[in-house]
A and B are shown apart, each in its own frame.
Chain A
């Protein structure tokens, strides 16, 4: 069964460093998403991406975040200058069709720890 994959599974970085989290969405999906989950808390929406541009973003997704689809298969989240509070699980998701009414499938996540 097709699945969303994410790399790395774990990332440790120093505060102020840039990190890039990578995702390979399900191959025929058109919509891509990033979410984060701070330890012990609920999953929070960051951004959605369609047709090579951001379609929606939350207030969490500030100027230090950016997303990119550098080729036909990868979808990346870049955090420019990491802060301690960026430590969280980051989940990529994808869905097939037009709106959020379409079920989103989640990857296994990248656990980011900022020291």
Chain B
């Protein structure tokens, strides 16, 4: 299946710092989604991107759909303790309903 690679694998940052993570694929995606997963819970959608080059914000979160359609970036500004969790990128196959999830970036915010 498709492999979506996320980097970094984990991050430890001080509260108030900005965070940047990315997701890359060897194949083109037409949609990029960013999810956050808290321990023991299901993924929660943060941002959806539908167009190459698109830059979308949701509060302190900003995500971009790469021009090549093979990557996406998620930035979190002024991190707070509740930002702790695992962030997954995801995208659908070009045909069908199967979603591929990235390998995840684990974020720890130190108060």
Say which residue of B50, B92, B103 sits within 8 Å of A42 (CB atoms): B103
What residues of chain A lie closer than 8 Å to B33, measured between beta carbons?
103
What residues of chain B lie closer than 8 Å to A56, measured between beta carbons?
96-98
A31 near B: Cβ within 8 Å? yes
* Interface 9-residue window, one of B12-20, B36-44, B62-70, B74-82: B36-44
* Interface 9-residue window, one of A43-51, A68-76, A78-86: A43-51
Range class of the B interface residue count: 20 to 34
Given known contacts A101-B31, A101-B50, A101-B92, A106 and B99 CB-to-CB distance under 8 angstroms:
no
Q: Is the CB of A91 within 8 A of B99?
A: no
Q: How far is the CA of A6 from the CA of B108 in the complex (A)?
A: 28
Q: How far is the CA of A31 from the CA of B104 in the complex (A)?
A: 25
Q: How far is the CA of A89 from the CA of B90 in the complex (A)?
A: 18
B1 near A: Cβ within 8 Å? yes
Q: Is the CB of B42 within 8 A of A108?
A: yes
Q: How many residues of A contact B (CB 8 A)?
A: 28
B88 near A: Cβ within 8 Å? yes
B45 near A: Cβ within 8 Å? yes
- Residues of A57-115 at the interface with B, using a CB-CB cut-off of 8 Å, are 58-59, 89, 91, 93, 99-101, 103-109, 111
Given known contacts A43-B101, A101-B30, A101-B50, A55 and B96 CB-to-CB distance under 8 angstroms:
yes
Q: Is the CB of B97 within 8 A of A55?
A: yes
Q: How far is the CA of A48 from the CA of B98 in the complex (A)?
A: 7
Given known contacts A101-B31, A103-B48, A42 and B104 CB-to-CB distance under 8 angstroms:
yes
Q: A residues engaging B (CB < 8 A)?
A: 4, 31, 33, 35, 42-45, 48, 50, 55-56, 58-59, 89, 91, 93, 99-101, 103-109, 111
